[in-house]
Amino acid sequence: MKKITIGEAARQSGVKVPTIRYYEGIGLLSAPSRSEGNQRSYEPSDLNRLAFIRHARELGFEIEAIRTLLQLQDDPHQPCASADAIAKARLIEVEQRIRSLNALKAELELMVEGCGHGRVDQCRVIEVLADHGKCAHPHH
């Protein structure tokens, strides 16, 4: 149960020091106790919360979504419908993003393949950018 400095918490959680302070500032993390010299001193249990946030951020959840998820975690007797809804919404976002990135990928591949490595006036990269009609799938 020994206390941890912010630097140690950063190392163990993988969340950077200024980011931890930022999370505290926006109320995502409650303010820890302080040492005599006014330095933040964390409980080991704070690391769980930090890991939770980090993981959720890696999965692309927005801060406000994470705020809700943390509140749910704090009150385990609530129904988990909201958590489910947040995750489902995120899944749909990700699926859409993948679809649109796949379209972009196809477009970029055509551009790059079509580049004859000559001069700009024969370059398909520039040409396609200048004329959307030359896209393979012009509906992006």
Task: Tell me how far, at minimum, the Cβ of 12 lies from DNA, in Å.
Answer: 11
Does 19 interact with DNA (rule: CB under 7 A)? yes
* Contact call for residues 43 and 83 (beta carbons, < 8 A): no
Nearest 5°: phi and psi at 47?
Answer: -65, -35
Interacting span for DNA (CB under 7 A) from 1-9, 83-91, 109-117, 124-132: 1-9
Residue 96 interacting partner from DNA, a copy of itself, none (CB closer than 5 to 8 Å by kind)? none
**Nearest of 63, 52, 68 to residue 26 by alpha carbon:** 63
Task: Tell me how far, at minimum, the Cβ of 96 lies from a copy of itself, in Å.
Answer: 10
Does 125 interact with a copy of itself (rule: CB under 8 A)? yes
Interacting span for a copy of itself (CB under 8 A) from 4-12, 18-26, 37-45, 92-100: 92-100
Rounded Cα–Cα distance for residues 122 and 117 (Å)? 9
**Nearest of 48, 65, 47 to residue 56 by alpha carbon:** 65
Which one among 44, 104, 136, 137 touches a copy of itself, defined by CB under 8 A? 104
With a CB cutoff of 8 Å and minimum separation 6, the contacts of 17 are: 6, 7, 10
Does 62 interact with DNA (rule: CB under 7 A)? yes
Rounded Cα–Cα distance for residues 107 and 30 (Å)? 46
Does 67 interact with a copy of itself (rule: CB under 8 A)? no
Task: Give the binding site for DNA (CB under 7 A).
Answer: 5-8, 10, 16-19, 21-22, 35-40, 57, 62-64
